[in-house]
Amino acid sequence: RVNGLKPNHLTERGLARTFQNIRLFPNMTVLENVMIGRHCRMSSGILGAIFRGRGTVREEQEVVRESYVILEKIGLAGFVNEFAMNLPYGAQRRLEIARAMATEPFLLLLDEPAAGMNPQETKELDDLIIWIRDNEKISILLIEHDMKLVMSLSDRIFVVDYGKKIAQGTPEEIKYNPTVIKAYLGEEIDA
């Protein structure tokens, strides 16, 4: 059960999320944005940061290395020193996903990741999500209105209409479900 838990406790349990509206630190570099995602896995606390012991320095170096590896996997290694605000929109979305991955989740919640993307960016996002699922072995919970993306990515779909679940099934089952068709396309009209 996760309702009522603080965000840091959800992260500790292996849940990570992105937001419909991108929430990056715009005046920090791409690398720094991912490093922030790693802080929850660091063992050195405030005293380690103040006194800069060997263990803390070693741990910080590891955070930099691990963050860079994530950026390589996501395709943003060429932007490590760029400010997040200077990235194109699709790259900002990938950066937000990279930061979420830095928390080492078992479940990644993507809230409308294709919102505002052009078709090319959406295709790249589709490829990235498939890669994360298949190579990083992270389960994906996708909330999305782009039905082409949903159908291409999903093993199982839950359809919600006005806050109520109206259907669940495989993409093929959902595509031909009369309740879903009625809710999203309306009643058939005789001509």
| Among 59, 62, 55, 66, residue whose Cα is nearest residue 102 | 66
What residues make up the domain containing 18? Answer: 7-145
User: Side chain identity at 187, as an amino acid letter?
Assistant: E
Together in a domain, 77 and 132: yes
Write the pLDDT tens digit of every residue in 174-189: 999 999 999 887 766 5
132, 101 contact by CB (below 8 A):
yes
State pLDDT tens for residues 10-32: 888 889 999 888 999 999 999 99
5 pLDDT tier (thresholds 50, 70, 90): confident
The CATH number covering residue 132 comes to: 3.40.50.300
Task: Answer yes or no: is 1 within a domain.
Answer: no
Give the count of domains, the chain. 2
One domain, residues 81 and 123 = yes
Q: What pTM, to 2 d.p., does this model score? A: 0.86
Q: DSSP assignment, residue 104?
A: -
Closest CA to 77 of 61, 64, 58: 64
Q: Are 133 and 58 within one domain?
A: yes
Specify whether 51 is located in the same domain as 130.
yes
For residue 150, being part of any structural domain is answered with no
Q: Give pLDDT tens digits for 66-80.
A: 999 999 999 999 999
- Same domain membership, residue 125 and residue 167: no
Same domain, 37 and 87: yes
